[in-house]
Structure formats: C-alpha cells, structure tokens
Chains A and B, each alone.
Chain A
C-alpha cells in the first residue's frame, strides 16, 4: 500500500503558485520524499526529491516539515501545461538490499485554469 495521502484534486489559477500537500506520517528515517507528475497519456516525469531539507530546482520547490510527516510541492508560477496528476512517494534509497522501487498512490489531479 502507498504510504502517502494526497487530496484527490486541486485547482489553481494560471500564473499563481500551486501548493500540493502530502501526508506521510509513517515515513522512516532513511526514506526520501519524491514527487512525480503524469501528464495525460505520458509516462511519469520526475520533479524533485528530498530527505530532510527543503529543496528547489528549475521545476519546483519541496518543503518538508521538521518532523518529516508531511511535505508540500510548490509550483511557483503554474501554467496550463502543469495540468497533470502529481504523485507524492516515499522511497527507500537503492542499495543495502533495497531495489529503490517506487510505489504509487492515487495522486492529486491538478487542474490549472486560465
């Protein structure tokens, strides 16, 4: 079973920040938080990941709470092309007998509106 909880859907106005929440209250100390998105009819696309610290890249920012039980993915200026299903996943790193596999939950369908 997926170890994360996300709202099933969210709307965001184009040009505004999209804040997608994720609960992972049972996360273990060495599990990372990953975010992927799936645009209709395409394979999932990696966005960002983090362990404890907040992370930022060219696509998004990831804010992880101090207790690591929840996180928020921030798309700073959402565009229509950001309309997709966003998946929050906790993952053990590859190695030490771990395959690094991803287990997907149901995700959040983000609809960016003009």
Chain B
C-alpha cells in the first residue's frame, strides 16, 4: 500500500491552456474524491466516484472542469481554458465504502496549479 499518489505535484501553465491531473488511489479503495484547496482555506469538495461511476458532479466549479475514472482505478481531473482563478491545490482522496460506517478518506499530497 503506497497511499494515494498524484501527478504532477506542481504544474505551471499559461492562461487559456488545458491541464490534466492524475490520481492513483489506494488499490482496494472503491471511492475516489477530488477537492480543491485555495490559499488560507480548507478543502472544497468537487466530485466523487464509486468505482467508475461519477455519483456527484454538481459541485464542479464550471463546465471547464471535468473528471473521469474510466476503469474504476485511477482518475483524471481536467481543466480546460485555465484562468488565473483556477490557481489552487487540487487534492485527491480515496476510501473504501465497504468499511462501515463511512470509510476514512485518505488524501494524496495534492497537485498545485499555478496559472500565469
């Protein structure tokens, strides 16, 4: 068990470019979550998957944000046409929903996005 890993750890991009972040959850975990954390704030929930199904996506910040988990293992978060306001830390977490009552969330170290 190597924990939740995220790649890249830091991405610098120019406004208008597309970026993609990858998250590899703990292998036996069937739930995967994306959160965003801006400076001085706590993490903000974006979306989550159970296996390959995206069960909640209404909290994605705009239609420029999308996430996938095609085979129920790793996930990607894509931001199209980035804006300076997208600069933040993007956190991934995973949990085992089969563990009652809720399953602890295990967080990765995050991917920091800087939009110039």
A and B: bona fide binding partners: no
